[in-house]
Structure 1
Amino acid sequence: MPPFRSLLRFIRATPLPNTGSVARDLLASERTFLSWARTGLGFIALGVALEKVEALAALSPTLLHLQDSRTKLAAGVLVGAGSLCVGHGTLRYFSTLELVKQGKFRPNTGGVTLMAITCIGIAIAGSILVIENEADKAREKAKEEGTQVKI
């Protein structure tokens, strides 16, 4: 049992006096951390699902027209972005805890900017993948019909 108790001491925070809005601020910080974690896990799940769809497409090429390298890259980006979200949320939570102990607060402008850029980048990359996929389908159809397609 001694190793478990030492681990528990490492994890357990020292009690803080609940003056002013300390408890409310820390509980809000925990909810914010959970939001970052949910967002990150959502990105990770989407990346894993995309990888599974790509594997399904490999089994049945007529079912989906996905190209191996692009979907692997997209899945990797989503998993990476999700991991960054979880990491940022964790760092943000602990830095906010220390600042609240000092009676200070730092707005999360960096995290919000990073999340906005990430989401916009994923949306643009996803749009490009969809457009390229449709163009590939049109080229294949034209090749089968013996005509040319201008794209």
Structure 2
Amino acid sequence: MVSRLLKYIRIGPMPNTGSVARDLLASERTFLAWARTGLGFIALGVALEKVEAFAAISPTLFHLSDSRTKVAAGVLVGSGSLCVAHGTQRYFSTLRLLQEGKFRPNTGGVTLMAVTCIAIAVSGSILVIENEATKAKESSKITAQI
């Protein structure tokens, strides 16, 4: 198992004909961009969970119900993990294709990333609007009691 993994990861020197070195370096930069984006999503998910812990202490902070926060944080961490996994898989598949003198555009990964970002933005907007509506209802109940 380990030897198979090392065979997949370790690749010997390649002849630098044409633009091979430039293409490989571009592929590495692209992988790092995918990893950076994924880590950003993961960090945002962890931060959301930590902010919720502080919101329980201070009622003036933005506050969602605990289950919604956990779901939102989980979605962000999961999306980030998938982003890093896709970037890693894409890097190694591009490396193999470049060895064969071929290249495959990354239409699937770009589409998936765009859909994920749009879904997270829409879901986040819905959560914020719903939260503000709940706060307004609670505020009107309090003023009606006074």
TM-score by length of 2: 0.91
1:136 corresponds in structure 2 to 134
Task: Please list, as runs of the form range in 1=range in 2, the aligned pairs for 1:1-151 lying within 5 A after superposition.
Answer: 11-146=9-144
Aligned residues: 141
Shift of 1:66: 2.0
Shift of 1:9: 8.0
Determine the C-alpha separation between the residues in 2 that align with 1:87 and 1:53. 27
Determine the C-alpha separation between the residues in 1 that align with 2:27 and 2:9. 17
Shift of 1:11: 4.8
Contact 2:31 2:91 in 1 (8 A): yes
Determine the C-alpha separation between the residues in 2 that align with 1:63 and 1:107. 44
Identity of aligned residues (%): 79
Closer/same/farther in 2, CA of residues 89 and 53 from structure 1, 3 Å limit: same
What is the identity, as a one-letter code, of the residue corresponding to 1:49? A
Determine the C-alpha separation between the residues in 2 that align with 1:111 and 1:124. 20
* Deviates further, 60-69 or 128-137: 60-69
Contact 1:39 1:82 in 2 (8 A): yes
Shift of 1:146: 1.6
Backbone CA RMSD of aligned residues:
1.8
Determine the C-alpha separation between the residues in 2 that align with 1:14 and 1:23. 13
Contact 1:99 1:105 in 2 (8 A): yes
What is the identity, as a one-letter code, of the residue corresponding to 1:53? V
Contact 2:34 2:84 in 1 (8 A): yes
- What are structure 1's unaligned runs of at least 5 residues? 1-6
TM-score by length of 1: 0.88
Shift of 1:73: 0.6
3-state SS in 1 of match to 2:59: coil
Contact 1:65 1:137 in 2 (8 A): no
Contact 2:52 2:63 in 1 (8 A): no
3-state SS in 2 of match to 1:146: helix
